[in-house]
Structure 1
Amino acid sequence: MNKDFERKLNQYAELAVKVGVNLHKGQKLLILSPIEAAEFTRLVVKSAYRNGCSRVIVDWRDTPTSRIHIEEAPEETLKTLPHWEIDRFKSFIEGHDCLISLTGNDPKAYEGVNPKRLMMLSKAQSEQLDFFQTAQLTGNIHWSIIGVPNAAWATAVFPDKREDEAITTLWEAIFTAARINQGDSIHNWKVHDKILKEKVEKLNLYHFKTLHYKSAKTDISIDLHPDHIWIGGSQRSTIGRSYISNIPTEEVFTAALKTGVNGTVVSTKPLSVMGNIIDNFSLTFKNGQVIDFRAEKGYEALQQILEIDEGIKFIGEVALVPHNSPISSSGIIFMNTLFDENASCHLALGAAITMNIKNAEGLSKEALNEKGVNQSSGHIDFMIGSQDLDIIGQTINDERIPIFQNGNWVI
């Protein structure tokens, strides 16, 4: 390992701990890590302890083993989680602790697996760990997702390169996206966070009623929730500390009104979900709900997603990302939602993020649903931004304000 790469790795680990979850003395840290990311994980563990962490727990993940589990385990096993696993996640909520998820699995890891068995496991995790998703959406824990390359992911992104070259190239792309290659990354993130906050402030001042999206392929109208709040960059937890849930992040986002989405959207980047690729797909909405869908690739996987529960057929999140963002400008399709969603305007099927709604703290899921805040055990981001996308904001006084023209900010 050369010295420059070693320096960047250590800086990346520090960024995850100090900026991502903003770990404070006495907090515990859970790391969800692929075994291929062992070297980087150890750097995160070291950084966490040196910044006052009381205990680090690493949950090692192995995709080939997980595939065997999905294919061979009894159906009843796929439908349930052991109590000790549920209790572990509960303990982190009780202590307002921290979670770092390292993402970088093979985008095609579960191709050919029976989608019904995949859905059994996904549904069990969604339903039985629902409380943990709620804690994330409300800011009861500090959490952050960080990308770490492995051979399968890197060669899927760069199929024309040798394995070692692909991994090196992907690392460099990640270092650039995470603002490691631009010098002092912690300072860079403070500056970037300020820029995102300026966009948030403008959007919240306008308090748009509706966003109208128009491009060569997409034509859709999205009513925002009357009590919506735009968020971007760092978020504030329920214990009053900031954290950044995605590194990188280029988005500002808010909540749709559950029944206020009408029209058709067409994907502009592949969606990697549950180890499958869904590409060139469209969704048509009426009164908020998906009433028709198509996909050139991954139709069956998309169909399975739309059967997770009733709420997954509605839009929870609306996110704005300029086409000239660093990730988009790289020209790389990362085959990973963490990165690809930050190259493009996107929407999310499923659960709305509670922090995007004024005075939503403590409301039950039933109460939120009644208020038009979509609830679901799933949250699936998909990309719709493009160079020709225009977005017009309509105020409650029917004033029409351009927000995006030709894919980029004009507000």
Structure 2
Amino acid sequence: ILYTSRADGTDPIKAWEMHNADLKHRCEHLNSLNLKTLIYKAGNGTDLRVGLIPDSRFLAGAETTLGTGVVYNPNIPSEEVFISPMKGEAEGIVYSSRPLAFRGVLIENFSIRFENGRAAEVHAEKNEEALRTIISMGDGSDMLGECALVPHNSPISNSGLMFYNTLFDENAACHLALGSGFTNCLDGYERYTLEECRAKGINDSIIHEDFMIGTPDLAITGIRRNGEQAEIFRSGNWAF
């Protein structure tokens, strides 16, 4: 746990300062691209397109409290750079790369096919019914609320361990989340009501279930709003 949390060295604070600086650099670059779409492709069959909200932004690492301005890390460990996608804009199929622990069972080797933003078809080698339960838990539970980018070359992934705890395992691989999105992924979210955030495209749901999709060969391409392409991930890791 200390290794995966970057706390096993002689100066963990310095290690986190460097890590936060790297995550901030990733966010700044991605936000500068003004992306419209993320395209995921992998050898296991993953072929998925996800639309992004025009004034959304990628976030990661350290955050600052509103009003007091205190800098803190809300999640440790944390390897992800994440964004909330446009509600209703997901097309294609995605295959899991790690089991999903849900209500005491493991959903293993599963796939989700999205059509018009909704999970239209699901399959799992083990505990498929649990996966069907997730996407049937109310409005928005069958839609995406998060796209998170995590390099395959990261501490939890390199440990070779499955923690069977999403807050650890999500930091081992790129992941998506079914259910509620994050309002703070909207630029200037402090000015908006919850209803306005939903109107802009943030998914609303009673759940937020992360599932891992990152593989050693995962490629992610971004389509910018000017039509240009930008390579985001190559062979499971950052392409920039």
TM-score range, shorter chain: over 0.9
Distance in 1, matches of 2:131 and 2:193, equals: 29
Counterpart in the other structure of 1:248: 77
Residue 362 of structure 1 and its aligned partner are, at CA, apart by 5.3
User: Deviation above 6 Å: which 4+ runs of structure 1?
Assistant: none
Q: Deviations over 1:174-220 (max 9, x none)?
A: 11001121222122111111111110110011121111100012000
State the SS of the aligned residue for 2:9.
coil
Distance in 2, matches of 1:273 and 1:364, equals: 31
2:22 pairs with 1:195: yes
Counterpart in the other structure of 1:34: none
Residue 273 of structure 1 and its aligned partner are, at CA, apart by 2.2
Distance in 2, matches of 1:287 and 1:255, equals: 17
Residue 371 of structure 1 and its aligned partner are, at CA, apart by 1.7
Residue 229 of structure 1 and its aligned partner are, at CA, apart by 0.8
Q: Deviations over 1:70-90 (max 9, x none)?
A: xxxxxxxxxxxxxxxxxxxxx
Q: Is residue 229–residue 356 contact of structure 1 (8 Å, CA) maintained in 2?
A: yes
Residue 387 of structure 1 and its aligned partner are, at CA, apart by 0.5
2:15 pairs with 1:205: no
Task: Work out which of the residue numbers 144, 162, 174 in structure 2 matches 1:315.
Answer: 144
State the SS of the aligned residue for 1:328.
helix
Distance in 2, matches of 1:200 and 1:371, equals: 21
Residue 228 of structure 1 and its aligned partner are, at CA, apart by 0.8
Matching of residues 7-406 of structure 1 within 5 Å: 174-216=1-43, 217-239=45-67, 240-361=69-190, 363-406=192-235
Residue 293 of structure 1 and its aligned partner are, at CA, apart by 0.7
Q: Deviations over 1:272-301 (max 9, x none)?
A: 122221111111111211111111112121
Going by fraction, where is strand more abundant, 1 or 2?
A: 2
Distance in 2, matches of 1:203 and 1:344, equals: 18
Distance in 2, matches of 1:405 and 1:220, equals: 16
Q: 1:402 to 1:365 in 2, by over 3 A?
A: same
Distance in 1, matches of 2:228 and 2:176, equals: 24
Q: Is residue 351–residue 374 contact of structure 1 (8 Å, CA) maintained in 2?
A: yes
Q: Deviations over 1:107-165 (max 9, x none)?
A: xxxxxxxxxxxxxxxxxxxxxxxxxxxxxxxxxxxxxxxxxxxxxxxxxxxxxxxxxxx
Distance in 2, matches of 1:204 and 1:241, equals: 23
Task: Give the letter for the 1:228 counterpart.
Answer: S
Distance in 1, matches of 2:217 and 2:134, equals: 28
Distance in 1, matches of 2:5 and 2:30, equals: 25
TM-score, length-scaled by structure 1: 0.56
Residue 241 of structure 1 and its aligned partner are, at CA, apart by 2.0
State the SS of the aligned residue for 1:246.
coil
TM-score, length-scaled by structure 2: 0.95
Residue 363 of structure 1 and its aligned partner are, at CA, apart by 3.5
Task: Give the letter for the 2:106 counterpart.
Answer: I
Distance in 1, matches of 2:51 and 2:71, equals: 29
Distance in 1, matches of 2:137 and 2:158, equals: 34
Of the two structures, which has the highest relative contact order with CA contacts closer than 8 Å and spacing of 6 or more?
2
Identical pairs, percent: 45
State the SS of the aligned residue for 1:213.
strand
Instruction: Give the root-mean-square deviation of aligned CA atoms.
Output: 1.3
Unaligned runs of 5+ in 1: 1-173
Distance in 2, matches of 1:410 and 1:315, equals: 24
Q: Which has the larger radius of gyration?
A: 1
Task: Give the letter for the 1:386 counterpart.
Answer: T
State the SS of the aligned residue for 1:209.
strand
Residue 372 of structure 1 and its aligned partner are, at CA, apart by 1.3
Distance in 2, matches of 1:380 and 1:245, equals: 18
Q: Deviations over 1:47-86 (max 9, x none)?
A: xxxxxxxxxxxxxxxxxxxxxxxxxxxxxxxxxxxxxxxx
Task: Give the letter for the 2:27 counterpart.
Answer: V
